[in-house]
Structure 1
Amino acid sequence: MKTILLLLTMSLGYVLPAVAQTKALFVVAGQSNAVGQGNAEQSVRVTGALEYRYQSDSLVALRDPVGENALEFQAANTGSAWPAFAQRYQELTGQQVILVAAARGGSSAHQKAELNELGTWAAEGHKPLLANALEKIHRAEAKVGTPIQGIIWIQGERDANAIFDQQLTAEAYEGALEGLIGRFRNGLGAVVPFYLVLTGNQQGREPIGNTAVRQAQRNVARRLTQVFVVYEQAEHFAKKHWMKDFVHYNQQALNDIGKTVAERIVTLNN
């Protein structure tokens, strides 16, 4: 019957209306590995996905380097996890991914871990970032006409260093992470899902702080509703030769993060 209807409408010169593709608006936030320090030449090429740009209040094709240097946030240098995320999510759901990039290299979760002007996600500091992220998200939601479906969080190395240097306790970091999730949700007026990529290790120093950060992230995910660990393999990247340098992930690692996070989010939502 559908085939007959299609042939009939074509013969009469009519065009059937296209089925609207649903949109999936995601935020990616955190520090340098959320920004992306990979290689755009090795990044996944994705079709149909978009990125919201604050400076021009526009939607552009999602491709690396993802992000923009605005509102204290940064563009990828030069590859990120997000084209791989968008490609896999679209494959699995048929939804169009629209991304809001809000990450800054070196930013901390706790104010005590903030370095100079690198920024913090805490309520106070030299360069608080949360208000800027909320501003960008609200503008993106208005542009797209749909609320965000989740925040993907990659952060923790700065706080891990502060724990290692005994400037911060693991308990304080855990409280800061829980607090920033609450402030994000208060600012958005909804219990938005929060997806955690567990922090990796840093080559050249004992992983005392990094291990403490990962445990804190797991604790928060167990305690808070709609907070999930969606990637746990970053601590093994050095053995896989997936590190760009002592702290940053290479493009192979970023592509794996993007793909795996998409698969995990889809599984959680089914």
Structure 2
Amino acid sequence: MKKLSLVILSVLVLSAAASAQKALFLVAGQSNGVGQGDASLSVKNTTAPLYEYVFTGNTFCLLADPVGQEELHLQQAHTGSAWPSFAAAYHKLTKDTVIIIAAARGGSSCNYKAELPSMGTWDTVGTLPLFDSALLKTKAAIRLAKCPLNGIIWSQGERDANAINAGRLTPEEYAQTLQLLIGRFRKALGAVPFYIIQTGYYRNHPKKGFDAVRRAQVQLCNTKQQVYMVYDQTGTFEQKGWMKDDIHYNQTALNHIGVIAAQKIAAQKK
């Protein structure tokens, strides 16, 4: 866990917030949302007011990979993520103090039918209640930051795509569960924008389930208010050589996701 004096952290956050608006983002999903990149290639920050909320200790720490904490069933990046890149780009565009709430878990499903043992699900039933964990962490961050949530960034779908390929889940069930999840977040946190990073592909595996998930994500963005596709280039990562392994994005890809997502989200402020 990143370590800084709580007193120093409080001074840093308050002094940064005094001259800039705060932007608070919840990052949720599965392993590519956690980050499986390379921290040595992640964006480094020394001066900008970029922070991560840590539930254990109820404090902020300077944002740096590996982002996230092993707390509340949620995970830390192994070892690089998209979020230092996102925060740095968003701050450059808006001058806002950026606070990231990292709330993702590798292998987690959207629909409970796709859940694997001990991996967790974002559905209303299942063995590991990730929605409850994310909500607990987010509400605590909102109280400490004394500002509303600006949006939810969602990077998830690989587990459900695999379940669709296996015949355990239908595309319609996945789409309905994701739509209901957005509604549950908004009921608990207010009518916040929901930003989707489109799911990529699992190399050497059938594309049928992944295409179904990708179509459902596009359809939600086209039909549901304040649901936006902020990154749609994941399908090209294998051709670009941007895969770490068969399913995870490398740090070049994660850095690119962060920049493009920040640009699209920041553009909505204008």
TM-score by length of 2: 0.92
SS of structure 1 residue aligned to 2:116: coil
Aligned mates of 1:99, 1:267 — CA distance in 2 = 19
Q: Percent of aligned positions with the same letter in both sequences? A: 49
Note the alpha carbon deviations across 1:199-219, whole angstroms, 9 max, x for none: 000001121111100000111
CA RMSD between the two structures? 1.0
SS at the partner of 1:238? helix
After TM superposition, the runs of 4+ consecutive aligned structure 1 residues lying more than 6 A away are none
1:215-242 alpha-carbon deviations (Å, 9 max, x no partner)? 0011111221110011000011000000
Amino acid at match of 1:24: A
The SS at the match of 1:100 is: strand
Distance 1:227 1:134 in 2: 19
Specify the code of the residue in structure 2 equivalent to 1:262: A
Counterpart position of 1:83: 84
Shift of 1:96: 0.8
Partner of 1:115: 116
Q: Offset at 1:117? A: 1.1
| Aligned position for 1:15 | none
Matched residue count? 252
In the other structure, the counterpart of 2:13 is none
The residue identity in structure 2 corresponding to 1:204 is N
CA distance in 1, matches of 2:159, 2:269: 31
Q: What are the within-5 Å matches in structure 2 for residues 222-237 of structure 1?
A: 222-237=222-237
Mapping of residues 3-152 of structure 1, within 5 Å:
20-46=19-45, 47-152=48-153
Amino acid at match of 1:156: G
Letter in 1 for 2:193: P
1:247-266 residue pairs with structure 2 within 5 A? 247-266=247-266
Residue segments in structure 2 that go unaligned for 5+ positions in a row: 1-16
Shift of 1:19: 5.7
C-alpha separation between the residues in 1 aligned to 2:257 and 2:233? 9
Distance in structure 1 (CA, Å) of the matches to 2:49 and 2:149: 18
Q: Distance in 1 between matches of 2:181 and 2:108?
A: 13
In structure 2, C-alpha distance between the alignment counterparts of 1:263 and 1:215, rounded to whole Å: 23
Q: CA deviation at 1:20?
A: 2.0
Letter aligned with residue 180 of structure 1 = L
1:100-131 CA-partner distances (Å, limit 9, x unpaired) = 00000000000100001100000111112111
Distance in 1, Cα, partners of 2:134 & 2:118: 17
The equivalent residue for 1:194 is 194
Q: 2: CA distance between counterparts of 1:215 and 1:27?
A: 24
Cα distance between partner residues in 2 of 1:134 and 1:113: 21
Q: Which residue type is aligned with residue 30 of structure 1?
A: G
1:269 offset after TM fit, Å?
Answer: 2.8
**How far off its partner does 1:58 sit?**
0.6
The separation in 1 between residues aligned to 2:242 and 2:220, in whole angstroms, is 27
